[in-house]
Structure 1
Amino acid sequence: MALASPYPDVEIPNVSVPEFVLAAGKARPDAPALIDGLKGDVITHGQLAAYVDRVAANLHARGLRKGDVVAMFVPNTPWYPVIFHGIAKAGMVMSPINSLYTPDEIAFQLKDSGAKILITINLFMERVEPAIEKAPVDEVVVLDFRDGYANLFDLLGEDAPSVDVEIDAENDLVTLPYSSGTTGLPKGVMLTHRNLVANVAQCRPLINLKEDERIIAVLPFFHIYGLTVLMNQGLAWGGAVVTLPRFDLEDFLRTIQDHKITRAFVAPPILLAMAKHPVVDQYDLSSLTSILSGAAPLDEQLAHAAEDRLRKGAEDGVKVGQGYGMTELSPVSHTTPDPGCEPPGARSDVPKGSVGYAVPNTECRLINPETGQDAADGERGELWIRGPQVMKGYLNNEEATRTTIDAEGWLHTGDVAIVDAEGRYTVVDRVKELIKYKGYQVAPAELEAVLIGHPEIADAAVIGVPDKESGEELPKAFCVRAPGSEITEEAVMAYMAEKVAPHKKVRFVEFIDAVPKSAAGKILRKDLKARA
């Protein structure tokens, strides 16, 4: 049975992402759009539109055309949105690369996405150079200047004529982030202009951003949460997005204080620091009115602890809520509404453990994993979602697309949820293999492939195990030594640390005689979890 959102459907304009997101700024050209949280540099809404035009023109002048992929390996800066929207205005596709990736991981994404150009910074070049040896691109642009490479000024040059590319919002891709989905290796998630426009429009009735809002953007723009919820949502309603290149607690708190931040969209580890760390009391956070957590489950007690602590420094208190989504959903399907933005007939506040209501234009089903039928009222089931935010599919992977999106358009999330009588959802479990660590996806299959690449490891399996202190899932490897090998746990962890990004590192190793597998050869992870 399909469960509709309690909110009325919203209109989704049939326009490109830049046309939609940059429209509000036309009425406020001198108002700040992007602010560097550390340096204080400002790009106004008027400047943003002009710079976006220049980036589109100069990428076109370099020979790139509609549909070409431009990879971005860049931390959060005010220039990230400029370049993203320039790429989008030219009809090209931006593929964001995780700033923590190793050369092998960068090379995989460059090759799989078919990227023509890679845009990066000097600090990342020691990883870029070995990556492009394995997966060559036509050009590397180093934004902050490096001899022999084009730079930011080359993307902003005045000579190239403006371009006007016809965009089919429903079918043309705008971004290609990589996700492990519910299982397997990372896959390119094909998101169209309509997907992203829809998701920003869908959030509007629940998250009532004002023109004078200041949003702190410490969650990375390479993550779809950062790209849609922080960057595009903030700009679309005429607010100011204040960027930080990485999370440092004191920089984060100082930026909230100095820039009078009104909203923070975070992941649970940041909220944990705000609830527990003593340094928080040294900063004036009274401008902050709302904290919304996403990317990983938020503990109910932690939400209350953060709200109670931060209420002391704010006149009207700080509301802490959470939302739910995934890269394949652009990413939002559910969220906690702002006070006053509850759906018609709502009788109470959203409980802290809940991810809130389905956003407009969204249908949900809860499916009993054992029977494949709709779960009975009040019972848990795998969450299926249908709506305009659902991805077009996985790049060059029809099998994975068919596994994730069925013939009726339902996306199978792999998460188990329950819904109450008021239409508020709580995610209670996971049926998918994916490990979530500090909001990042960790695919067991990816780590297993790296482990098996070691000559002294004959077979391997990876699962997530809970950390007793933080509640985070930590990757644990079960390894079968090759004949004659005496490789140690420490050696396995050191090997993995060199091969994968920090959030993917194996934290525990256990040697076993054989990896338990089904008759079809599938790893029996339940058996491994039972002994973990």
Structure 2
Amino acid sequence: MVFTSQYPKLEIPDVGVSAFLFDTLEVGDLDRVAVIDPRTGTETTYGQLRAQVNALAGALAARGVGVGTVMALLCPNIPAYITAIQGMLRAGATVTTVNTLYGPDEIEAQLIDSQATWMVTISPLLPQCAAAAARVGIPGDRIVVIDGAPGHPDLRGMIAEGRGAPEVHFDPATHVALMPYSSGTTGFPKGVLMSDRNIVANTEQTRIVLGPTTDDRVHAVMPFFHVYGLIALMTMALRGRAAIVPMARFDFVEFLSDLQRHRCTVVVVAPPIVVGLAKHPAVEQFDLSSVTVVYSGAAPLDAATAERASARVGAPLLQGFGMSELSAVASAIPRTRGDLPANAVGFLLPSETCRIVDTATGAEITEFGDDGWTAPGELWVAGPNVMLGYLGNPEATAATVDADGFLHTGDVARVHRDGYLAIVERVKELIKYHGHQVAPAELEAILLGHPQIADAAVIGVQDAEGEEFPKAFVVLAPGAQLDADDVMAYVAERVEPHKKVREVEFIDVVPKSAAGKILRKDLRQREAASA
């Protein structure tokens, strides 16, 4: 059975990303604030931003950048990031976004795989960029240092050349605009080929459901190098003519200060920040009354934590689901549907369909139970936002996107008869305990409900007989008085016997990616090292 979106099918504009965002500006939009620098309060209007983007595109074109050029962008969330990436896209380049935590070796690997011939960065990150660039033969005059450095072009100087935007011609359905890197459902990071059409489609799909308006100020703490921050935040806000307040380096108190100082209305975060909103004592010290909605994505979030955070902020906390291979978002909850269960990840976006497939038998799940939900199964999604494929990896592409165009997400989900979805767990993260499937996210949600536990993660480990069982890694709150037996007893009182946590290790911090996903591989490596 194919489940369909409740929204009317979209007509996707047949244009590139830049034209979609900036050629559609109306006269009344030009003086609207597009970007606010939270540190200085400096505001950039849409008219000014478009002029910067066009001038940068012209300067890049004069240096030979165009369709077929791959440019790597390594930069934190600063206002100039928006100008830089939009200027690169305006010039017709393909942009591969790089994790700001990468060192020279990781940068080099991405440069080689993506075949990037240009880099754009900032001076504090120049040493690792320059080291990687030297290894692959990218010269200094092809490393743009946004804030300036000797021997390199800088953003202000390139814009000051005053060149007009070049005329660029390509097919939006096949031209690769963005190439972020994702591990996908398995394996090492792979270049995700996202066309202009993919991005335009998902921006419009998401905007229709989430609806940022000209009255909104959207806080941008989610890294722009991740598709969640880039598309579900940046491009969606730009198309909605909202103001973006980017945050370069996360600090929880500074984050709260930003929300208060700049009267942010929309907050886009990952689960670790939601945990802070639910538990951190500093929340009570700030006026967050301007916030009308908090969106959480990029990783699972339990219902109890979502509800506590929502109550403390005084605004609905709504979840969505997506992945790089879906050009960011597959499902989301509109602001008007705060009545949905806190663990719901919303409705399929316009022009999307999905299937739920039993992970053991491969059979499609079609029936709703007495509780209104289907049984859990792997989520398959089809729509105009499904990626073109993985760079240079047709085998991985074929294993992920089937002949009918459905992308096999690797996530276990359920569909409610009213049309909304909930994510249970990643297929590969499920723990098999004596034949029973145990979802780590369920146990993590229970652990986070304990007032003396600040954070937690669960993985499957093996006993002496090779049987897998759940082990919890727990971060205690300041002043907590818990031992392993206390933790295991707390969970045992709340789950079926096969789901009990059977080992506990106390740690200082749960390892997580920049997008907020628990790095279970790091915990497995820790476990292997101690074995």
Structure 1 residues 237 and 510: CA distance shift in structure 2, 3 A: closer
Q: Does 1:169 align with 2:172?
A: yes
**Does structure 2 retain, via aligned residues, the 8 Å contact 1:183–1:433?**
no
Corresponding residue number in structure 1 for 2:127: 126
Deviations 1:165-211 (A, max 9, x none): 01311111111000000011100000011111101111233212211
Counterpart of 2:119 in 1: which secondary structure?
A: strand
DSSP 3-state at the match of 1:357: strand
Pair 416,10 (structure 1): closer, same or farther in 2 beyond 3 Å:
same
Q: Cα offset for 1:37?
A: 1.2
Identity fraction in percent: 41
TM-score with structure 2 setting the length? 0.81
- Residues 400 and 407 of structure 2 are in contact (CA less than 8 Å); yes or no, is this contact kept in structure 1? yes
Q: Is the partner of 1:432 in helix, strand or coil?
A: helix
Asked whether the 8 Å contact 2:302–2:442 carries over to 1, the reply is: no
C-alpha displacement at 1:337, in angstroms? Answer: 1.2
Whether contact under 8 Å (1:58, 1:154) holds in the other structure is no
Alignment RMSD: 2.8
Q: Is the 8 A contact 2:424 2:441 kept in 1?
A: no
Q: Tell me the amino acid that sits aligned with residue 522 of structure 2.
A: V
Change in Cα spacing, 1:175 to 1:511, as seen in structure 2 (3 Å) is closer
Task: Tell me what 1:19 maps to.
Answer: 19
- Corresponding residue of 1:281: 284
C-alpha deviation, 1:501, in angstroms: 13
State whether structure 2 residue 368 is matched by structure 1 residue 368: no
Please, which of 288, 295, 307 is the counterpart of residue 304 of structure 1?
A: 307
Q: Measure how far apart 1:368 and its partner are.
A: 0.9
In 2, the alpha carbon distance for the partners of 1:285 and 1:28 equals 27
| Aligned match of 1:404 | 400
Structure 2 CA distance for aligned equivalents of residues 90 and 297 of structure 1:
37
Structure 1 residue 432, shift from structure 2 partner: 3.3
Check the 8 A contact 2:80/2:146 in 1, yes or no: no
| Aligned with residue 233 of structure 1, among 228, 236, 252 | 236
Map of 2:504 onto structure 1? none
Is residue 215–residue 263 contact of structure 1 (8 Å, CA) maintained in 2? yes
* Map of 1:196 onto structure 2: 199
Q: What secondary structure does 2:143 align onto?
A: strand
Q: Do the aligned partners of 1:464 and 1:476 also contact (CA within 8 Å) in 2?
A: no
**What residue in structure 1 maps to residue 324 of structure 2?**
327
TM-superposed deviation, 1:477: 12
When residues 278 and 430 of structure 1 are mapped into structure 2, their CA distance, relative to the original with a 3 A threshold, is same
TM-superposed CA distance for 1:290, in Å, is 0.2
Q: Does 2:154 match 1:158?
A: no
What corresponds to 1:147 in structure 2? 150
User: Counterpart in 1 of 2:377?
Assistant: 381
1:8 aligned residue: 8
What secondary structure is seen at the aligned counterpart in 1 of 2:210? coil
SS in 2 for 1:57: helix
* Unmatched tracts of structure 2, length 5 or more: 368-373, 432-439, 448-452, 464-510
Q: Which amino acid aligns with 2:65?
A: L
- Indicate the structure whose relative CO is greater, using CA pairs within 8 Å and at least 6 residues apart: 1
Secondary structure, counterpart of 2:378 in structure 1: strand
SS of alignment partner, residue 251 of structure 1: helix
Contact 1:274 1:280 in 2 (8 A): yes
In the TM superposition, 1:481-492 aligns within 5 A as none
Which residue of 333, 354, 359 corresponds with 2:349? 359
Offset at residue 376 of structure 1 (A): 3.8
Q: What residue number does 1:509 align with?
A: 526
Match runs of 1:73-472 below 5 Å: 73-138=74-139, 139-311=142-314, 318-339=315-336, 349-377=339-367, 378-432=374-428, 469=453, 470-472=455-457
| CA deviation profile, 1:129-152 (whole Å, cap 9, x unmatched) | 332233332421111111111111
How far 1:473 moved relative to its partner?
5.5
| SS of equivalent residue, structure 1 residue 11 | coil
Asked whether the 8 Å contact 1:336–1:357 carries over to 2, the reply is: yes
Question: What does residue range 44-83 of structure 1 map to in structure 2 within 5 Å?
Answer: 44-83=45-84
Classify 1:25/1:269 alpha carbon distance in 2 versus 1 (closer, same or farther; 3 Å).
farther
How high is the TM-score relative to the length of structure 1? Answer: 0.81
Counterparts in 2 of 1:178 and 1:120: CA distance versus 1, 3 Å: same
- Tell me if the contact between 2:91 and 2:168 (Cα under 8 Å) persists in the aligned partners: yes
CA contact (8 A) 2:222 2:515 kept: no
Q: Deviations over 1:197-245 (max 9, x none)?
A: 1011112332122111100011110000000111111110111001110
Question: For 1:398-456, what per-residue CA distance to the aligned partner results, in whole angstroms no more than 9, with x for missing partners?
Answer: 11100100111110000011111101111112213699xxxxxxxxxxxxxxxxxxxxx
Q: 1:327 is matched by which residue type in structure 2?
A: S
- Residues 464 and 379 of structure 1: is their aligned pair in 2 closer, same or farther, counting only changes over 3 Å? closer
What is the SS of the residue equivalent to 1:309?
helix
Task: Find the residue that maps to 1:269 and give its secondary structure.
Answer: helix
Structure 1 unpaired stretches of 5+: 312-317, 343-347, 436-462, 479-496, 514-531
The CA distance in 2 between the partners of 1:142 and 1:472, in whole Å, is: 39
Distance 1:12 1:364 in 2: 19
